[in-house]
Amino acid sequence: KNEVEQSPQNLTAQEGEFITINCSYSVGISALHWLQQHPGGGIVSLFMLSSGKKKHGRLIATINIQEKHSSLHITASHPRDSAVYICAVSKMNYGGSQGNLIFGKGTKLSVKP
């Protein structure tokens, strides 16, 4: 079983819809990251969170540490949101290492006009 599981794997939405992508993990973490990858490969960090909730524009990320679960929400989705969204965790490591991310398989989102 993967240490980071995402659902759904694929998601098609109509422009304007509210979108939710879920991420569950099975290890102790120091932080959880939501990443966006467009065709061509470039990865952009959307959020890094270790508790609670963060919001950037139309994007909202929440995390429940007790449940080991995080969600990424996109409000009023737009075709330019079409991309692969990847959940990744930094495993709790008392040696100070934070750069060894463990990734989910990603959610491919397509938003139709």
Partner 1 sequence: KAGVTQTPRYLIKTRGQQVTLSCSPISGHRSVSWYQQTPGQGLQFLFEYFSETQRNKGNFPGRFSGRQFSNSRSEMNVSTLELGDSALYLCASSLDLFGESYEQYFGPGTRLTVT
Q: Are 87 and 70 in contact (CB under 8 A)?
A: yes
* Interface residue with partner 1, options 39, 42, 57, 113 (CB under 8 A): 42
First-to-final CA distance of the chain: 36
Nearest to 24 by CA among 81, 96, 107: 107
Assign 30 to helix, strand or coil. strand
> What character string, x for contact with partner 1 (CB under 8 A) and - otherwise, covers 55-84?
------------------------------
Tell me whether residue 58 or residue 105 sits nearer to partner 1 (CB atom): 105
DSSP state of 81: G
Query: CB 15 → partner 1: shortest distance, Å?
Result: 28
Tell me whether residue 40 or residue 113 sits nearer to partner 1 (CB atom): 40
Tell me whether residue 10 or residue 98 sits nearer to partner 1 (CB atom): 98
Distances (CA, A) of 29 to 1, 64, 69, 89: 17, 12, 11, 6
Tell me whether residue 50 or residue 110 sits nearer to partner 1 (CB atom): 50
- What is the contact surface with partner 1 in residues (CB under 8 A)? 30-31, 33, 35, 41-45, 48, 50, 86, 88, 90, 93, 95-106
